[in-house]
Amino acid sequence: MTVLEDQKQLLEWQKTKDDVQGNQLVERYMPLVEYVTHRIGLQLPPSVDPGEIRSLGLEGLYDALTKYKPSFETKFETYATWRIKGAILDGLRKLDWLPRGLRDEVKKIDQAYLTLQQQHQREVTDDEVAAYLEMTVPQVKRVVRNSSLALVSSLHQEQFQEAEIDSQSSLHKAQVTIPEQEIVKQAVRDQLQEAIQQLPEKEKLVVSLAYQEELRFTEIAEILSVSVSRVSQIHSKAMSRLRLAVYDVLEY
Dihedral sign (CA 155, 156, 157, 162):
positive
Q: Based on the domain organization, do 86 and 140 belong to the same domain?
A: no
pLDDT at 110: 77
Q: Based on the domain organization, do 149 and 88 belong to the same domain?
A: no
Q: Based on the domain organization, do 136 and 248 belong to the same domain?
A: yes
Q: Which of 45, 75, 95 is the last residue of a domain?
A: 95
- Residue 248: is its pLDDT beyond 60? no
Q: Could you list the residue range(s) of the whole structural domain that residue 105 is in?
A: 98-252
Q: Based on the domain organization, do 70 and 143 belong to the same domain?
A: no
Q: Based on the domain organization, do 192 and 249 belong to the same domain?
A: yes
Q: What is the DSSP string of 140-196?
A: HHHHHHHHHHHHHHHHHHHHHHHS--TTHHHH-------HHHHHHHHHHHHHHHHHH
Q: Based on the domain organization, do 136 and 245 belong to the same domain?
A: yes
Q: Based on the domain organization, do 170 and 216 belong to the same domain?
A: yes
Q: Is the pTM above the cut of 0.75?
A: no
- Of 115, 230, 250, nearest to 188 (Cα)? 250
Q: Based on the domain organization, do 196 and 250 belong to the same domain?
A: yes
Q: Based on the domain organization, do 106 and 80 belong to the same domain?
A: no
- The CATH number linked to 229 is 1.10.10.10
Q: Which of 41, 68, 95 is the last residue of a domain?
A: 95
- Of 149, 170, 151, nearest to 68 (Cα)? 170
pLDDT tens digits for 195-226? 888 888 889 899 888 877 778 888 899 999 99
State how far Cα 103 lies from the chain centre.
18
Q: Based on the domain organization, do 102 and 86 belong to the same domain?
A: no
Band of the pLDDT at 157, cuts 50, 70, 90?
low
Contact 112, 164 (CB under 8 A): no
- The CATH number linked to 39 is 1.10.1740.10
pLDDT tens digits for 49-68? 788 889 999 999 999 999 98
Q: Based on the domain organization, do 56 and 167 belong to the same domain?
A: no
Q: Based on the domain organization, do 85 and 141 belong to the same domain?
A: no
Our count of domains for the chain comes to: 2
Q: Which of 33, 60, 95 is the last residue of a domain?
A: 95
Express as a percent the part of the chain with pLDDT over 70.
70
- Residue 184: is its pLDDT beyond 70? no
